[in-house]
Amino acid sequence: MALYDETYRPQFHFTPKTNWTNDPNGLMCYKGEYHLFLQHNPHGINWGHMTWGHAVSPDLVHWTQLDHAIYPDGLGTIFSGSGVVDWNNTAGFQTGDEAVLVCIYTSAGGTSPESEGQPFTQSIAYSNDRGRTWTKHEGNPVLGHIVGSNRDPKVLWHEPTQRWVMALFLDGNDYAFFGSPDLKDWTRLCDVHIEGASECPDLFELPVDGDPANTKWVFWGASGNYLLGAFDGTAFTPESESLRSNWGANSYAAQTWSDIPPEDGRRIQIAWMAKGEYPGMPFNQQMTFPVELTLRTTPDGIRLHKTPVREIENIRDESLIWHDAALTPGANLLEGLEGELLDLRAEIEPAGAAAVGITLRGERVHYDVASATVSSLGTEAPLPLEDGRIRLQILLDRTTVEVFGNDGAISMPTCFLPDPADRGLGVYAEGGEARLVSLEIHRLRSAWRRTEHSAVALSPPRGGP
């Protein structure tokens, strides 16, 4: 098995070349490169020795893994955190013409022999060469221990108050915000509590229904539960209960990219597909495909929506398209078709059917009309009919099925281990006839096979079994 082409190697979802990964860290964009740092174990296939791995991409689809960025030291192993571009050189780290990239991470004291007896604190490291080499700040930690295993600093630049804001996980379902002029001196601003979430906070502002004059702040915890609210740079005022954004079995610790240029303006998120299994593989764990986040008004109120970033079109191969077909119980319009890497988009009017769905490699993405729910690989999400129809987008990769319903109103990222021999596809109706309004099946190419990225795709040694 060639590296990056193994049986259970996702072909358009990020995995490290070898060994364990969990949370995405330090997401930032600088000069056309998306940086993805990752919790990584340089020494083994299971969690441990937490170090920041590093990959870059021009388009969120094709990734090149670079050297590890931040290694454990006497303050601790390197737990999760975030990254920002210090455009105004507020920290004074800049030495050349490039803006400084700064990573803010948890020094997890006591998780290694070298850091025995140290508490969990927050530290920073910076790069003057577009993220290729990293230097730890000599005054680390920049924020001392507060409580428990406080961790996972998420930092953003708050333009109206001209200062940095850090959201930090404290303990239980409690978080706190801190403010700083220079990323080094931090003052506590406010506390935030969110039911059903711990660890890995995120905080960002989004327009509602695309209206820049009407924005809400989203406060996010690792489980994917979030609060909508107002944030004035000091206090966060929740305006919703804790809302759920994730219905899949494998999504945790999602983070969004900082410093995406304003002319692009998207808020893009990626998550760890926690608990996936990869038997016999040289790596362990993977990320979701990046999604664009938007806030849209629904009958239940304003809700986050997630849709795969449009750059997925960069790996499109053949497209098969159907319009206006009848789905009759017992028949399969896709009889004989096979697929392994797909971006499938369907609009279905169940009409007289009790259930409709799509089959992929022996698994069903199943819509039950009476309960208005969609289920996939053991989890279930609410999906009301809109004008009598549902819209589904399904990303199929070697080890994952990611389902998005009604333009991202629900998302279900789930890992699976398909039978390598079963690549069958189907679309079905049960208990009556339904109408397939449209179906697009876009076959995708492996993101690892692009010549510009062959340095990654072809580099030895193989770690496979």
Q: Return d(Cα 30, Cα 84) in angstroms, integer.
A: 9
3-state secondary structure of 450: coil
Query: Cα(first)–Cα(last) distance of the chain, in Å?
Result: 8
CA 249 to chain centre: 14
Cβ-based nearer residue to ligand FRU, 76 or 405: 76
Cβ-based nearer residue to ligand FRU, 200 or 456: 200
Backbone CA torsion sign across 358, 285, 448, 421:
negative
The minimum distance between CB 154 and ligand FRU, in angstroms, equals 11
Tokens 């499109």 -> residue: 316
The minimum distance between CB 431 and ligand FRU, in angstroms, equals 42
The minimum distance between CB 32 and ligand FRU, in angstroms, equals 29
For 443-455, give the DSSP string: EE--GGG-GGGHH
Cβ-based nearer residue to ligand FRU, 197 or 315: 197
The minimum distance between CB 459 and ligand FRU, in angstroms, equals 26
Sorted by sequence, the CB contacts under 8 Å of residue 387 that are 6+ apart come out as: none
* Residue 242: both structure tokens together: 């804790």
Cβ-based nearer residue to ligand FRU, 50 or 344: 50
Q: Return d(Cα 439, Cα 339) in angstroms, integer.
A: 15
Cβ-based nearer residue to ligand FRU, 73 or 182: 73
- Around Cβ 27, how many Cβ atoms within 10 Å? 26
The minimum distance between CB 170 and ligand FRU, in angstroms, equals 12
Instruction: Tell me the C-alpha to C-alpha distance, in Å, between residue 111 and each of 76, 137, 152.
Output: 6, 21, 15
Find the catalytic residue in 5, 23, 171, 202: 23
**Which residues sit at the interface with ligand FRU, rule CB under 6 A?**
22-23, 39, 50, 79-80, 106, 151-152, 199-200, 222, 252-253
Q: Return d(Cα 202, Cα 230) in angstroms, integer.
A: 14
User: Which 8-state DSSP code applies to residue 386?
Assistant: B
* Residue 455: both structure tokens together: 């340095």
- Around Cβ 412, how many Cβ atoms within 10 Å? 26
The minimum distance between CB 208 and ligand FRU, in angstroms, equals 30
Q: What is the dihedral of CA 289, 292, 296, 302, to 10 degrees?
A: 70
The minimum distance between CB 111 and ligand FRU, in angstroms, equals 9
Cβ-based nearer residue to ligand FRU, 22 or 250: 22
Q: Are 71 and 108 in contact (CB under 8 A)?
A: no
β-bridge mates for residue 197, sequence order: none
Alpha helices by DSSP H, listed for 129-273, are none
Cβ-based nearer residue to ligand FRU, 40 or 267: 40
Angle CA(317)–CA(321)–CA(326) in degrees, nearest 5?
150
Active site residue 264: no
Q: What is the dihedral of CA 36, 41, 44, 47, to 10 degrees?
A: -110
What residues act catalytically? 23
